[in-house]
Chains A and B, each alone.
Chain A
Amino acid sequence: MFSYIIKRLTQGLFLVFSVSVLVFAMLYMMPGDPIDQMMGWKVSQEKKDEMRHFYGFDLPMHEQYINWAAKIVKSGDFGLSIRTKLPVLDLMKARIPITLKFTGLTLLFDILIAVPLGLVCAYKKDSPFDRAVVGVSLFFTAIPQFWTAVLLILLFGVTWKILPLHGYETPLHLVLPVAAGVLGSFASTIRMTKSEVLDVIKEKYVLTAYAKGLGKTAVLIKHVLRNALILVTVLVSLSIPWLISGAVILEHIFGIPGMGGLIVNSIIMQDFAVVQACVLVISLLTVSFNLLCDFLIGILDPRISIALKGGER
């Protein structure tokens, strides 16, 4: 188990490193540098060069990268936002927990609703219930999440006026965004759960469980669900980048002051240092989420820890 964690962690760190290089290269390739953007065209070329030298923008790319990365690692210094002149870190600080909370709630409700439905669909395959759920989820896969959000706003916010449609002041403000998030992802979670459970039901050990005299419910919980859960966790971890993608758009729509809103606005305002930092932080969050799932899988599935224990000897 321990070496499994180390292995995953190294992989994750290397991934984050690659993303940071990518993100840095992206900004480096931008036409014009931050000095041009901050100073505008009125300032003389000499003055600009002096500033460039002062900030280290005249160094070769890899040295600039090292300086940039070192600052981030040491003090979380992502530089200054060109538009607001505030440190990027200060802009992000309050927003990261909000995005985490929003994404976490979406994931939680997605699992709470979709996993049981998928399970029932698998057990009652081809029943009217299964057909209905599959039909509804097929329908929802055709609806872009942002339009689901728009419809929810029109229905609950405008027509019935029972829920707030914009902002983040009360817990009620999160109801519509989370609902839109869940509606956008539950179809695929149901389908994944169903197909995994169908696979597990066919396993020989389920037959064994019946053969030794366990009843339907015991087999379902102890053998089918327990094993399907491992695969569902794997699949959920694969869907996390997708979930975060959805969150970015939903935050923008619902005016939630999270990372998503920040990044979209920064792109529109061409505030590249902020975009760079946001991309990096969101990738970091994604990788950490995935690591968390990997650990969970390691706990749920003894085969993984055993394989590695064997490797150590």
Chain B
Amino acid sequence: MNETPFMEFLISARRNANFLVGAFIIASVVFVAVLAPVLAPYGYDEPHKADRLQPPSAKYPFGTDDFGRDMLSKVIYGARITLQIALIGTFIQMFLGVTIGMLSGYFGGLVDKVLMYIADLAWCIPGIILALAVVTLLGKGLNNSIIAISLVNWTQFARIVRAKTMAIKNQAFIETGIAFGEKAPTIMLRYIFPNIVPALIVMISLQLPSTVISTTALSFLGLGSQPPSPDWGLALSNGMKYVSRGQWLSIFPGIALVYTVFGFNLLGEGVRDLIDPRMKSH
């Protein structure tokens, strides 16, 4: 039987518990995010003035916040923001990391030295500080906080892509390509890039949870999403104002966040084990 790599992946995926559970969790989050308008009992920013700071009840299963907004609806709509953070944030990191890593690994020499020094620099400054600096420069807001976190987290991608590029560059088929007169951009895109895709998929899935956590942290500090966004980090930040009068404000968005991050973690470990078991030992 002639099996494609993708088929092989599916077959072994059926036996990988981490992958299965992680995929199930993330699928459920996606489901909730897509069907938010159907599932949510109220609008996420719909205030019920008479029902401020209500504890969980039949009417409001997750309670209400200080404006009388239904927390369940906020949590449901928040899933959209979280997935947006995960996908866009990780994509920007990957884009930066792949571009810089490939240039660095392909050209070597001074280009490599400069680019890797920048990567080292980003590595030794505490991530949150760098992100805070970027947010200061760009201003508060969800998109800016996603950019800020990406500017911090791209270095891991760059490092691994660089190493892979350097390894692939010396293989015979690349030299053949060069001998045929292919230009550097073609070599990088057509010859090298396809060979780093598996590693890239592993890196993306490992990077998703930390992207979500750091971006949500910025929202929690009040520097990411601004009200009335249903962002879970922002909701938790709001909950901090009512720790003694409205604990439910701090509980439910947090559970949703942990559930999602846990799902991404499992999915990441599953994908890594399936695609590249050797990466397990750092």
Q: Which residues of A contact B (CB under 8 A)?
A: 15, 18-19, 22-23, 26, 29-30, 138-139, 141-147, 150-151, 153-154, 157-159, 165, 195, 241-242, 244-246, 248-249, 252-253, 263-264, 267-268, 270, 272, 275, 278-279, 282-283, 286-287, 290
Contacts and interface: CB of A to CB of B under 8 A. Distances in A.
Contacts of B123: 241
B242 to A, nearest CB: 10
Given A19-B125, A142-B265, A268-B222, A147 B243 contact: no
B121 interface: yes
A154 B247 CA distance: 7
Nearest to A198: B281
Contact of B128 (A154, A245, A272): A245
Given A144-B213, A153-B243, A267-B135, A139 B262 contact: yes
Contacts of B254: 147, 150-151
A279 B127 contact: no
B133 interface: yes
Interface residues of B, number: 40
B261 A144 contact: yes
Contacts of A157: 243
Contacts of B209: 141-142
Contacts of B128: 244-246, 248-249
A244 B126 contact: yes
Nearest to B118: A18
B8 to A, nearest CB: 27
Nearest to A281: B129
Contact of A147 (B117, B124, B132, B257): B257
Interface of B: 117, 120-121, 123-130, 132-133, 135-137, 209, 213, 216-217, 220-223, 236, 239-240, 243-244, 247, 250-251, 254, 257-258, 261-262, 265, 281-282
Contact of A283 (B125, B136, B216, B223): B125
Nearest to A283: B125
A286 to B, nearest CB: 6
A26 B136 contact: yes
A278 B128 CA distance: 12
Contacts of A159: 247
Contacts of B130: 279
Contact of B247 (A158, A195, A244): A158
Given A142-B265, A264-B221, A275-B136, 18 more contacts: A15-B120, A15-B121, A15-B124, A26-B137, A30-B137, A150-B239, A150-B243, A241-B125, A242-B127, A245-B128, A249-B217, A267-B132, A267-B136, A267-B223, A279-B132, A282-B125, A286-B124, A286-B125
Contact of B121 (A22, A158, A249): A22
Query: Which of A147, A153, A245, A283 has its CB near the most chain B CB atoms (within 10 A)?
Result: A147
* Chain A contact surface mostly: helix
Contacts of A142: 209, 258, 261-262, 265
A106 to B, nearest CB: 13
A23 B133 contact: yes
Nearest to A19: B125
B182 to A, nearest CB: 36
A26 B236 CA distance: 30
Given A26-B133, A241-B123, A144 B262 contact: no
A241 B214 CA distance: 14
Nearest to B249: A150
B257 to A, nearest CB: 6
Nearest to A249: B217
B121 A19 contact: yes
Given A15-B121, A142-B258, A264-B221, A282 B133 contact: no
9 contacts: A144-B220, A144-B258, A241-B123, A242-B127, A244-B126, A249-B217, A264-B222, A278-B129, A286-B124
Nearest to B127: A245
Contacts of B125: 19, 241, 279, 282-283, 286
B137 A144 contact: no
A140 to B, nearest CB: 10
A153 B223 CA distance: 22
A309 B217 CA distance: 46
A270 B139 CA distance: 9
Contacts of A15: 120-121, 124
Nearest to B222: A268
Contacts of A23: 133
A241 B121 CA distance: 11
Nearest to A270: B136
Q: Lowest 7 A-B CB distances belong to which pairs?
A: A245-B128, A142-B262, A244-B126, A241-B126, A245-B126, A147-B254, A142-B261
A293 B130 CA distance: 22
B239 A244 contact: no
Contacts of B216: 144
A252 B129 contact: no
A309 B129 CA distance: 38
B100 to A, nearest CB: 17
Query: Which of A15, A18, A241, A287 has its CB near the most chain B CB atoms (within 10 A)?
Result: A241
B121 A150 contact: no
